[in-house]
Structures are given as C-alpha cells and as structure tokens.
Structure 1
Amino acid sequence: MNGNNPYAGAPGVPGAGQPSQDRELTVEQMDSLRRAVAGIVSRTESYLPEGFAVGSELSTGSAGPLATVAVHPPVGHPVSAGFSPNADDLDAGLTDEDRDEVARGLAASAAFQVMSAVGDDLTPAAR
C-alpha cells in the first residue's frame, strides 16, 4: 500500500496526475539569467591568472531555474557556486554587487584550493 494514497511522495513534489509546479521562464528572464551568469564568469576570470578553467551551467530543477558557476584550478579541487533566482530577481536583474561577491568568492576559493594542494611555496594565485 506504500504510495497508493494522495498523500504519498516527497514534500514539494507533485503527485501522479497533478500539474507540475515547475515555473517556465520567459525569454526575457532566461536572457537576463544568461547575462548575469556570463558576467559572473568573466568577473571570476578577471580575478584569476591563466590556468584556471571557469565555466557555467543553466538548468531547471523542481524549484525552478538553477545557475551554477564553477572554477577548476590547475591543482586542487574544483569549486562552484549555485543559486536559484526567484522571479523578482530575474525581472530586476542581479546587481553588480551580487555578481562581484560571487566572483570574488569563487576566485578566493579556487586560489585557496591551489594553496592547499601546493603548500606554502607558491606565489598567491589571485590578484
């Protein structure tokens, strides 16, 4: 009988035969999200020297859009930052301060990964 009632299932996941709660993005909202993520990627790259790979991914999850920006340092573990903006954030656009904060945090985390992997005998990786 497990799962054979209308109350079964994970919280926030629509049951069988129920409409999905996924929110479709408008073209303008998707473009705004792409521009914001591209800005974070370019700002992160500007803080790091060559050898650090910076990339991004846009996807849609059960709670709506999901944006992820990741940095793979030359040595050490990759670091990433993900966020799920709400409709108001997408309509208003992400502020420059928010983009800078994410970019600086990613660059600092990637530089820390290099420092942790190499030790104290390395010149600082971030500017």
Structure 2
Amino acid sequence: MNGNNPYAGPPGVTAAGEPETPPVDLSATQERELRSAVAGIVTQTESYLPDSYVVGSELSVGSDGPQATVAVNPPAGHPVSAGFTPDPEDLDAGLEKTETDEVAKGLAASAALQVMNAIGDLTPTAK
C-alpha cells in the first residue's frame, strides 16, 4: 500500500505522508516586498484600463515558495490572470520594476483583447 502514497519514498528519505521538500517560509521583509510588488501590479494594471474592469490579487505561500496571482475581470469576455513565483532571494533584493511593468501591461492587453473578442465584428489592425 505504500506505493499508493504520492509522497512515499525509500525508508529514511521521505516519510510517508510528508511532502518531499519542506515549505518555504518568508521573512516579514520578504512578505512586505511581495505584497508591495503585487499591489503595484494591481495599481498599474488599473491605470491602463477603464473603471469597468475589475482587478484583484491573491498571495499564498506553498511548498514551492511564494505565489502571487493578479487577475482582471473585463466587462465582457473571460477573466484573465497572471501568476508568478519569485524566489525568496529575489524578494530580498527587490523585484525589478521592469518585470512588474511587463505583467501589468500584459494583463491589461489580454483583458482588452477579451472584450474585443466578446464583442466581435472587429477588423484586426495587424496580422
């Protein structure tokens, strides 16, 4: 029955029922940096879009480390989201503004495209 356990490994290596790697804990400074970066992405994404678009975020820390998701719910079409998992070392150094800018611009563009696709009957400007 040990083979049915996804965490089962050789005796002494990984105890049955235990994850293979211990969860990553963030320091208070790292958590503040992550929250600040995600809040900046949300604010910047909102600045690119009209008020009818709803932008939100979610933070979590799993066994793979910190995970952040920013999502946009456009007034028509499907919601879009972007997730990223920064390394704790990157949080110590501070996330680069170019990375967070890229996420915000990509989300805004994807949300606008969802509205365009939902409305339909639009002529593309490029191929």
How many residues were matched structurally?
117
The AA in structure 2 aligned to 1:29 is Q
User: Counterpart in 1 of 2:42?
Assistant: 41
The AA in structure 2 aligned to 1:57 is E
Q: 1:114 to 1:18 in 2, by over 3 A?
A: closer
Q: Which aligned runs of 4 or more in structure 1 are off by greater than 4 angstroms?
A: 17-20
User: Counterpart in 1 of 2:75?
Assistant: 74
Q: 1:4 to 1:55 in 2, by over 3 A?
A: closer
Q: Give the gaps of 5 or more residues in structure 1.
A: 122-127
User: Counterpart in 2 of 1:65?
Assistant: 66
Q: 1:18 to 1:74 in 2, by over 3 A?
A: closer
Scaled by the length of structure 1, the TM-score of the pair is 0.82
Scaled by the length of structure 2, the TM-score of the pair is 0.82
User: Counterpart in 1 of 2:3?
Assistant: 3
User: SS of 2:115's equivalent?
Assistant: helix
Shift of 1:50: 1.3
User: Counterpart in 1 of 2:16?
Assistant: 16
- Give percent identity, aligned residues only: 66
Cα-to-partner distance string for 1:1-45 (whole Å, 9 max, x where unaligned): 34389x736xxxx54375751110000000000000000000000
Deviates more, 1:84-93 or 1:26-35: 84-93
Q: 1:68 to 1:4 in 2, by over 3 A?
A: closer
User: Counterpart in 2 of 1:86?
Assistant: 87
Shift of 1:115: 0.3
Shift of 1:89: 1.2
> Matches of 2:74 and 2:104 in 1, distance apart?
14
> Matches of 2:15 and 2:101 in 1, distance apart?
40
User: SS of 2:3's equivalent?
Assistant: coil
What is the RMSD computed on CA atoms of the aligned residues? 2.3
The AA in structure 2 aligned to 1:16 is A
User: SS of 1:74's equivalent?
Assistant: coil
